[in-house]
Amino acid sequence: MSLEVRHLTSGYRKKVVISDVSFTLAPGEIMTFFGHNGAGKSTTLKTVLGLLQPVSGEVWLGGERIDGLPIPQRVARGLRYLPDSRGVFPDLTVAENLQIVAAMNCSAAGSKINVSDVLQLIPTLDARLGAQAGSMSGGQQQMLAFGLAILGSPRCVLLEEPSVGLQPDLVERLFAQIHAICKQHAISAILVEHRVASALKIADHVLIMNNGEVVFDGSPAEARNSNFWEFF
């Protein structure tokens, strides 16, 4: 498995927010997380990334247990995070954004995806290399942020509300790009998203959370036929 979470319990200080959360992702598999605000989706991602330390449970990446590792070591092992704030350097050009992240993530021998690869996978960036990232549209910034997230040798990308602020046609384009790249390079992804219909189109696996617990774990088809809508 690319990512495996086992019985994860976590929260903030003494407050438990998620309890006994478990799931697995195979290489190239896209999982969508659904649930109302406060259901525990972001807490789960932050615990997997290492921003929060679990009360109990384990996180495994590529067959190695990582929940005791600091964030830089998790990133070095292939874990990536795209926050809802887009995660680009707004005062730098697109080329400078790519160069800086590549210097951090593509130095190891055998890196799967370099800057040239990103420009081939996301061709809209090639024409904007000299543009200041903060001057671009929301959709362009989100494409750049995703490009930054996949530089190097990613195993799993955590995507938190990538559609925020985007028009529906741009959401469909972004999600199609995410789907194509994850499948082509066997990158697993967790997609926390409020645009249910769009997210279900690219999902292989659906996880629904309510009050910090997993209340549904199944396929998109099973999710469509379930009563999970009551948790939104």
What would the pLDDT profile of 102-131 be if each residue is shown by its tens digit?
Answer: 988 886 656 789 999 999 988 889 999 999
Element (DSSP H or E) covering residue 103: helix 94-105
Closest to 21 (Cα-Cα) out of 228, 187, 212: 212
The tokens for 210 are 């309510």
Q: What is the pLDDT of residue 230?
A: 64
Residue 229's pLDDT band, with cuts at 50, 70 and 90, is low
**Domains delineated in the chain:** 3-231 (3.40.50.300)
Mean pLDDT of 159-177: 88
Closest CA to 93 of 150, 139, 134, 52: 134
What percent of the chain is predicted at pLDDT more than 70? 96
Q: 13 near 6, Cβ under 8 Å? A: no
**CA distance linking residue 191 with residue 22, whole number of Å:** 16
Is there a contact between 134 and 91 (Cβ–Cβ < 8 Å)? yes
Residues 16-41 have pLDDT tens digits of 999 999 999 999 999 999 999 999 99
